Amino acid sequence: MGLLVAIIGAVATWNRGLGPHWYPLALIALAVPPAWIGGKLHEIEQARKHNAQRADGVDAEGQLR
C-alpha cells in the first residue's frame, strides 16, 4: 500500500518544483523492505501456529484428530 502511494506521489509531484527528486525516490525504495519483513514475519507466525496445532493433535480446521 505504501509503495503504491509513494509512486503516485512521485508521479504527481515530479516536475512541480516541490523539492529534490531523491526524496520521492527514497520513499519508494523505503516502502519495500518493511513490507517484505512483515510478510516474512507473517509466514513464520503461520508456520508456528500450524506446527503447534499438529503437535496438539488439531488439524488445519481446528478439529481434534
- Give the model's pLDDT for residue 1: 79
Contact (Cβ atoms closer than 8 angstroms) between residue 3 and residue 34: no
| pTM of this structure | 0.56
Q: Note whether residue 62 is domain-resident.
A: no
Q: How many domains, in total, are found in the chain?
A: 1
20-57 tens-digit pLDDT: 999 999 999 998 898 899 999 999 999 998 888 777 66
Is 37 inside any structural domain?
yes
Per-residue pLDDT, 14: 93
For 2-64, give the DSSP string. HHHHHHHHHHHHTTTTSS-THHHHHHHHHHHHHHHHHHHHHHHHHHHHHHHHHHTTB-TTS-B
Host domain of residue 21: 2-55
Q: What's the pLDDT band for 60 if we cut at 50, 70, 90?
A: low
Which residue has 488445519 as its cell numbers? 60
For residue 60, being part of any structural domain is answered with: no
